[in-house]
Amino acid sequence: MDGSAPPQFHPTPRSQVRRRPQRAAYDEATVFSILDAGLMAHVGYVIEGQPFVTPTAYWREGRTLYWHGSAASRMLDAVGDGAPVCVTVSFLDGLIVGRSGITHSVNYRSVMAYGTARVVADPTAKRAAMEAFIDRLYAGRNVKLRPTTDAELAAITLVAMKIEEASAKMKATAPAELPADEGWTAWSGVLPVETRIGPAIAEPREGPRTDDLSPYGPGVRLDEALTRACRSPRSARNA
Amino acid sequence: MDGSAPPQFHPTPRSQVRRRPQRAAYDEATVFSILDAGLMAHVGYVIEGQPFVTPTAYWREGRTLYWHGSAASRMLDAVGDGAPVCVTVSFLDGLIVGRSGITHSVNYRSVMAYGTARVVADPTAKRAAMEAFIDRLYAGRNVKLRPTTDAELAAITLVAMKIEEASAKMKATAPAELPADEGWTAWSGVLPVETRIGPAIAEPREGPRTDDLSPYGPGVRLDEALTRACRSPRSARNA
């Protein structure tokens, strides 16, 4: 402990949580722990006043989020040249079942991250980022893969968004028990929800499963596997 | 078969899928099957040019989506009076692991639904909709619950959105095998991802588990439980 405050995001009215602020957090550690447990984000952007929300795979490096897709994608056309975006990552952790309608709810973890998305056009930077994505998911895998060609790289549009503001919001509770619920005996409790890896489906003539896939054993929670993978040492090619 | 075409959504440029259109569908049956397998949506809306994406629980009745929250919520303040919204529901079904970077991908199902959100203010309509939400999740449960008071009902803001347009997009494949990948032997295949109910955590002095909870046994897939629940007969109170 050196007495310095842990890194925080500083909310403006854009990211300040208004509803149930006791469930909110703005510190980097909490925000990053949620972002690093996920693979799919919902990216929100605006075209001529119309909102769009596109689900897409993402990854994080420091305070920057990345996602990619075909250059044909409407999302990337719209956000690539510096449009404001909101990137939301959420986990449903449980169904809360109460004794009155009002006490039914869900447990969850979520982050809303705000920034300006920009296309990464430089081929060297693009190649490094795409390899970092593979290694973030499957640490050490890049060196086992057939290298990406320049033409393949050119067909990918890569977007980077520096996180300007972010808020986390979480709930992990049992059902509320209101005074008016007394005497009502409907079953009450939490039905946990867990997202896990299933049994792998191998392609014919596959090589052996290597260490880069070790976080993803059958039955493992996906959020835990993703967190473990992104803490693992990366490929030499990418170091 | 009476020869009539099944009901469809009719895409305009807003909802027409441009990237990989072979993965898209606009028929009601496909769109509804994805919406009815989900509980959490990501609702996109715009305030003064800034996009926001809020995760929230939703339900469907016919071509109308509903969601709710405290009257303090920014989302509901913003969308309640007739703003355009995009409601996206998505499922991650698997990690596709290829032999080259470009063939790594994910399997998924998703719907993007577009419309105009409006607050449902009438207390009778609100009460019926909130009971329909409980019964959509836990068929027959309403009659077991302590009834919602008028004050509780007044504290809820309920939003309805008629779906004007919707597109579904899905992928469920093995990794692509490109000619250039020949001879590379990294393990290749699909790591399925499944979201399931965990072991229930009961409150003290709970009543017995009743039929309304029967879809949610431990180990059951959440998407299948939600689909089954919304096909079940509803409460008498709500019929």
Summarised one tens digit per residue, pLDDT across range B69-126 is 765 577 777 776 788 999 999 999 999 999 999 999 999 999 999 999 999 999 999 9
Helix (H), strand (E) at residue A211: none
- What domains can be seen in chain A, in order of their start residue? 21-124+143-173 (2.30.110.10)
pLDDT in tens, B160-192: 999 999 999 999 999 999 999 999 989 999 999
Residues in chain A within 8 Å Cβ distance of B72: 18-19
Instruction: Give the per-residue pLDDT at A1.
Output: 47
Q: What is the mean pLDDT of residues A58-75?
A: 84
| Cα dist from A80 to A31, A84, A111, B208, whole Å | 24, 10, 22, 54
Please indicate whether, in this complex, the C-beta atoms of A57 and B106 are within 8 angstroms of each other: yes
Instruction: Give the per-residue pLDDT at A20.
Output: 86
Instruction: Give the per-residue pLDDT at A239.
Output: 39
Q: A72 versus A108: which is more confidently predicted?
A: A108
**C-beta of residue A159 within 8 angstroms of C-beta of residue A117:** yes
Helix (H/G/I), strand (E/B), else coil: A25:
strand
Residues in chain A within 8 Å Cβ distance of B131: 101
Instruction: Give the per-residue pLDDT at B235.
Output: 55
Give me B109's structure tokens. Answer: 């199902």
Instruction: Give the per-residue pLDDT at B57.
Output: 96
pLDDT in tens, A201-216: 998 876 778 888 989 9
Please indicate whether, in this complex, the C-beta atoms of B51 and A45 are within 8 angstroms of each other: yes
Shortest CA distance from B185: residue in chain A: A207
Q: What 8-state DSSP symbol labels residue B4?
A: P
Q: How far is A7 from chain B (nearest CA, A)?
A: 24
**C-beta of residue A145 within 8 angstroms of C-beta of residue B183:** no
Shortest CA distance from A70: residue in chain B: B19
Beta-carbon pairs below 8 A across chains A and B = 276
Shortest CA distance from A147: residue in chain B: B100
Residues in chain B within 8 Å Cβ distance of A199: 192
Shortest CA distance from A150: residue in chain B: B102
- Residue A103 CB burial class (10 angstroms; 0-12, 13-18, ≥19): buried
pLDDT in tens, A94-147: 999 999 999 999 999 999 999 999 999 999 999 999 999 999 999 989 999 999
pLDDT in tens, B7-31: 999 999 999 998 888 899 999 999 9
Contacts of A181 (CB under 8 A, 6+ apart): A98, A99, A100, A103, B146
Q: How far is A132 from chain B (nearest CA, A)?
A: 11
Query: Predicted confidence band at A9 (pLDDT cuts at 50, 70, 90)?
Result: very high
Please indicate whether, in this complex, the C-beta atoms of A53 and B42 are within 8 angstroms of each other: yes
ipTM of the complex: 0.93
Helix (H/G/I), strand (E/B), else coil: A171:
strand
Please indicate whether, in this complex, the C-beta atoms of A148 and B209 are within 8 angstroms of each other: no
Residues in chain B within 8 Å Cβ distance of A51: 44-46, 51, 84-86
Test the B interface: residue of A53, A104, A167 with most B CBs within 10 Å = A53
Query: Predicted confidence band at A21 (pLDDT cuts at 50, 70, 90)?
Result: confident
Q: What is the mean pLDDT of residues A157-166?
A: 95
Distance CA A140, CA A136 (A): 9
Residues in chain A within 8 Å Cβ distance of B209: 187
Q: How far is B5 from chain A (nearest CA, A)?
A: 29
Partners of B81 in the β-ladder: B118
Instruction: Give the per-residue pLDDT at A71.
Output: 52
Instruction: Give the per-residue pLDDT at A236.
Output: 47
Residues in chain B within 8 Å Cβ distance of A73: 18-19
Q: How far is B4 from chain A (nearest CA, A)?
A: 32
